[in-house]
């Protein structure tokens, strides 16, 4: 062959003959640059003005570390809980027909639409030691409001629809024949669900987890009402950023934000990698 490849090593998959590849790719890149890339690089730029020693000093400050730990820790726990119960909710909504199903289906989206501050105030009222739920839990020695547990509950509320809405369509797609095949092969209902159906849902569940987790890390409005915001105990990183801003300490605020950004990006990247591996296998 006499032809030599134009790009050695770099190869694009040939786009289809339908036109639009250049245009749409160009538009996507320009759009993402304007909306996401420029603001975020501004953030990094601003914190870079600090210099390494100052940056490290803020990053390793005990209050910063604790706030990050609380933010990521509670978001992780909340996402994990949401994955379990969100999948159950999605399953019930898809598989069973009962009166009020549509209403419940619509209700799942409410946390999307509700101003998060409203959710936070409502949850605080319920779970404060004098509230309905809080009064029930107080005798058991469980304190919800003004503790990290309260943050977890707020994040569960916020993250639920992400899991339900990503898993639901996949459950709808499950082929009835696959369940029947498992039954004819001798699997009981429990084995069918745990060995056949749930593994098939894994990619969607991971996506739902990633979304709920990412949302939880960035959540501010609902958390600050229920958290009590005690430094080192229930102060989340986004709140610490706001506090620094109010102190006109922009450099510290952007430094914390940059660390959050890097951590979030890293975790989402890992989740995406896990996911693309499972996706590839299942085809």
Query: What are residue 275's phi and psi, to 5 degrees?
Result: -70, -45
User: Min. distance of Cβ 213 from another protein in angstroms?
Assistant: 23
> Judged by CB under 8 A, which of 24, 199, 230, 266 binds another protein?
199
- Kindly tell me which of 201 and 217 has the beta carbon lying closer to another protein: 201
Q: Does 16 bind another protein (CB under 8 A)?
A: no
User: Min. distance of Cβ 88 from another protein in angstroms?
Assistant: 20
Q: Does 276 bind another protein (CB under 8 A)?
A: no
> Judged by CB under 8 A, which of 7, 52, 98, 282 binds another protein?
282
Q: Does 183 bind another protein (CB under 8 A)?
A: yes
User: Min. distance of Cβ 8 from another protein in angstroms?
Assistant: 29
Q: Does 196 bind another protein (CB under 8 A)?
A: yes
Segment 141 to 180, residues that bind another protein, using CB under 8 A: 175, 177-178, 180
- Kindly tell me which of 160 and 182 has the beta carbon lying closer to another protein: 182
The residue among 237, 170, 173, 238 whose CA lies nearest residue 208 is: 170
- Kindly tell me which of 121 and 202 has the beta carbon lying closer to another protein: 202
- Site for another protein, rule CB under 8 A: 175, 177-178, 180-188, 191, 195-196, 199-200, 202, 278, 281-283
């Amino acid at each position: 062959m006499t032809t030599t490849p134009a790009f050695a090593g770099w190869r694009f998959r040939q786009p289809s003959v339908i036109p639009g590849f250049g245009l749409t790719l160009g538009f996507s890149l320009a759009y993402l640059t304007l909306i996401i890339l420029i603001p975020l690089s501004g953030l990094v730029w601003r914190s870079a003005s600090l210099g390494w020693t100052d940056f490290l000093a803020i990053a390793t400050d005990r209050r910063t570390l604790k706030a990050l730990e609380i933010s990521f820790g509670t978001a992780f726990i909340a996402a994990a809980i949401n994955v379990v119960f969100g999948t159950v909710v999605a399953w019930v909504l898809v598989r069973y027909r009962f009166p009020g199903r549509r209403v419940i289906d619509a209700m799942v989206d409410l946390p999307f639409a509700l101003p998060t501050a409203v959710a936070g105030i409502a949850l605080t009222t319920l779970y404060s030691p004098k509230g309905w739920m809080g009064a029930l839990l107080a005798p058991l020695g469980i304190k919800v409001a003004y503790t990290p547990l309260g943050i977890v509950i707020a994040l569960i509320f916020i993250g639920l629809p992400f899991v339900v809405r990503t898993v639901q369509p996949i459950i709808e797609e499950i082929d009835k024949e696959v369940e029947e095949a498992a039954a004819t092969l001798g699997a009981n209902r429990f084995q069918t669900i745990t060995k056949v159906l749930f593994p098939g849902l894994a990619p969607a569940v991971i996506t739902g987890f990633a979304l709920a987790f990412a949302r939880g890390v960035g959540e501010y409005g609902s958390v600050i009402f229920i958290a009590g915001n005690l430094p080192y105990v229930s102060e989340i990183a986004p709140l610490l950023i706001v506090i620094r801003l109010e102190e006109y300490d922009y450099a510290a605020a952007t430094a914390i934000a940059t660390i959050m950004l890097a951590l979030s990006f890293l975790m989402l990247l890992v989740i995406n990698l896990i996911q693309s591996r499972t996706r590839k296998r299942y085809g």
